Amino acid sequence: MNVQKTKLPGVLIFEPKVFGDERGFFLETWNEERYAAAGLHAKFVQDNMSFSKKGVLRGLHFQNPNPQGKLVWVVQGEVFDVAVDIRPGSPTRGEWTGVVLSAENRRQFFIPEGFAHGFVVTSESALFVYKCTNLYDSAGDGGLAWNDPDLAIDWPVKNPLVSPKDAAAPRLRDIDPARLAPYRSDS
């Protein structure tokens, strides 16, 4: 397995080893020992899947209390996936990184706890899968504006389809820092 670090500490891109022949292919999407050896020490407690059409943007979402780390990948189609460091006190707060995830490249993206996450579908549709380190908690559900000018995310879709909730999300600078997971220098 190939592991790529990003400019944001803890945000990782995994390229699992694929075994293929004329019949198709096989790959491991999760193996606790193998991923721990590659630097990902996470306990996942919930798996989710979403289906979205071209141009749909979901995010930027976070959860606190009980922040969720997420290991995400695409099993059908293609998305541009983004992680944003929103932790008060973090030296990289307000910075983002993005990666193309697709059924073809089979990459996985790990977004640590305390980060906001979102993606936009760039193919006709996408089937998106993710493992979470904490259970979903509607009371802790939060979001920030996908088009926050302070973040200046370079989304590849200029007029995405967003939910009313995502369209009304505040800018990062307008969110009370007490609402966000704090930065820990040991993370």
> pTM for the complete prediction?
0.95
Low-confidence ranges of the chain (pLDDT < 50): none
Catalytically annotated residue among 117, 130, 136, 183: 130
Amino acid code (one letter) for 34: R
Does the annotation count 136 as an active-site position? no
Q: What is the CATH number of domain 2-19+45-179?
A: 2.60.120.10
Q: Which residues contact 77 (CB under 8 A, 6 or more apart)?
A: 102, 103, 121, 123, 124, 125, 126, 127
Domain boundaries, the chain: 2-19+45-179
CA distance 167 to 44: 29
pLDDT at position 149: 98
pLDDT digits 0-9 by tens, 147-183: 999 999 999 999 999 999 999 999 999 999 999 999 9
pLDDT digits 0-9 by tens, 51-64: 999 999 999 999 99
pLDDT at position 81: 98
Does the annotation count 117 as an active-site position? no
Catalytically annotated residue among 35, 41, 61, 117: 61
pLDDT at position 184: 86
